[in-house]
Amino acid sequence: MIYIKDLMSGIDIFKALSSEIRIHILEMLASNPQLNLNEIAKRLKLSNGAITMHIKKLEESGLIEINTSVGKHGIQKVCYLNKDRLMVELRSQNADNLYEVEIPVGHYSNYAAVPTCGLATRDGLIGDFDEPRYFADPGRVHSEIIWMADGFLEYRIPNYLKPNQSFREIQLSLELGSEAPGHSDIYPSDIYFYLNGAPLGFWTSPGDFGDARGTFNPDWWPPQLNQYGMLKLIRINDDGSFIDGSRISNITLADMKLDYKSDLIFRIAVTDKLVNKRGLTLYGKHFGNYRQDLLARVLYNIHEVQETDTVSAKP
């Protein structure tokens, strides 16, 4: 998913989407895992030269990816859809009224893990496969990928609000997938989310993806293991709780009665429910397809401080 948090930052994408031909190219790539330039030109009944300009615009915007391969007729440029979702935040967000913090995935404050499970840094495995005791290893703070068949991870989100400020929205962005022994692209798992114990809802991960190597995976990571997840955006505000814009519960910020003194504890979990109980994998910035850890964003309101008049008593 490509997330555009303000309109100005999405100008290149909007320009790329301003052409009907480029829209048709994206539609074709959404229905086909890959197409080369000759195939795209033939389907649109255009010359290769005419298609090249459109392909370049789409590549520059990040909507598609181009790889070079050797075919029967020489070197070919093969096009892939880079992301399968685009989300645009239309509400204006005052940059002075929000803060962001990126929390490394290894900086969890509490956990429970059941095999298959494990942790790894960009340099190597922490401990052994399927040994939950290594989740307490001091080196776990350097973890860049964490997986478990059952259990949870908790993270403490910093609360930087002041007495005259109140929460307007909390956003959490993270790359997630299921957890299969090895990997399995079709392996649905219900992953649940909580804030301060309040159940925000769940998302069903389609699988534990391993059909292609993760963009940022280190060279030592074995190809037979999970490779990447899906980038998800969770939002909690006064309208409810949402993931990628779809409502997952009616839990609101008002229900949680948060203020500037509140702890903010975010939990990702696989529950005891038997339907789609197939674990979770959380990717950090040096694994998977997205260069980020757990990204927390807090939007807040500022309230004017009311001054009270002091009336002096006459003698």
**Each residue's pLDDT expressed in tens, for the chain with a length of 315 residues:** 676 766 656 777 888 899 999 999 999 998 887 899 989 999 999 998 889 989 988 988 888 888 877 766 667 888 988 776 777 766 555 567 999 999 999 999 999 999 999 999 999 999 999 999 999 999 999 999 999 999 999 999 999 999 999 999 999 999 999 999 999 999 999 999 999 999 999 999 999 999 889 989 999 999 999 999 999 999 999 999 999 889 999 999 999 999 999 999 999 999 877 688 999 999 999 999 888 999 999 999 999 876 555 444 444
pTM confidence score: 0.74
Amino acid letter for position 6: D
Which tokens is 242 given? 């949402």
Identify the structural domains of the chain with CATH numbers, from first to last: 2-81 (1.10.10.10), 93-302 (2.60.120)
Which is it for strands 2-4 and 86-88: parallel, antiparallel or unpaired? parallel
Say which residues have a Cβ less than 8 Å from residue 196's Cβ, sequence separation at least 6: 256, 258, 262, 263, 264, 265
